Structure 1
Amino acid sequence: MCSCQQHSGTAAKATGAPEGAISFRVEDMTCGHCAGTIKKAIEDQLPGAAVTADPASKLVSVVGTSDFSAIKSIVTGAGYTPSPDRVG
């Protein structure tokens, strides 16, 4: 989990998941730094994936892959706790 101490309420509001996205919650994603860490980890390890991570809604959406178990493993490896199930 993040220790950057920049946990303000200024994060952008979620606009919904893109069509065909795998979406899930990460309750311990608390700020933009956390969102950036998750986004980078997934995009670095799954080339071609595009990630949207919104700390305000705790929602992560991934387009470009259908391997939910790989995504969960990557998020866990980055130090966060993805929900066990997809959203939506």
Structure 2
Amino acid sequence: MQMKRLGWVVLIGLFAMQAPFNTLALNVEKVLRDNSKRLKEIKRNNKKLVGQIELLQEQQKYSRKKITELFHSIEYQKSSNVVKETMKRVRNEDRKAKKL
């Protein structure tokens, strides 16, 4: 009789222990699914960010080119002004020299 009771206790104990393992397996599957979804979302966001970075790099190249052109233009204007001032000074010096 005690053996039979012990058998039932062991059987019920094993059955009771099986429920947490099943729950654990379901939780693991849920965690894996959630992680898979998150990973896919992260990959999509990464692709978007890579595209934005490439766009920003292109804009930066264009901006650098424009800035370089502006600096060249400023240098040209400065040198043009120096040439104009020099030509005026030479003309004035020539006029003064002719008067003498």
Decide: shared fold, TM above 0.5.
no
Q: Which has the higher helix share?
A: 2
User: Bigger radius of gyration, 1 or 2?
Assistant: 2
Q: Relative contact order: is structure 1 or structure 2 higher (C-alpha 8 Å, sep ≥ 6)?
A: 1
TM norm structure 2? 0.20
TM norm structure 1? 0.22
